[in-house]
Amino acid sequence: MLATPSPRYRLVDADLLRRLMQRTSTGQSVSHRELADAVGIPHQTIGQLLSGVQQSVPMDVAHGICDRLGVGVLVLFAPPTHAAHAKPLVSAVSA
């Protein structure tokens, strides 16, 4: 059985990530390596997000980054859309 891949969250603003790393919710700064270690990902991932080489991460990584920085996930990341699976809010009326 194939595992369902984790939804990917797109980083909205690399500059905001950089600013939040300079001053987390505790008032302290966090380095690429410290943030990566806290989330359990390679430090290159943080560098690639900041440089724009990588634009999205799995949902658990997005939540881990935001938890460490002390912000809500929607501050930094846009969740995936599932428009293809969305159902209409109103049923079509038969003529």
Q: Using the predicted structure, report yes or no on whether residue 87 has a pLDDT greater than 90.
A: no
Give per-residue pLDDT as tens, 5-55. 778 999 999 999 999 999 988 889 999 999 999 999 999 999 999 999 999
Angle at 94 between CA 92 and CA 95, to 5 degrees: 130
71 in a domain, yes or no?
Answer: yes
Dist CA 56 CA 69 (whole Å)? 17
CATH number at residue 28: 1.10.260.40
pLDDT of residue 24: 85
Total structural domains within the chain? 1
Dist CA 48 CA 95 (whole Å)? 54
pTM: 0.80
Write out the residue range of the structural domain in which residue 51 sits. Answer: 14-79
Q: Contact at 8 Å (CB) between 67 and 24? A: no
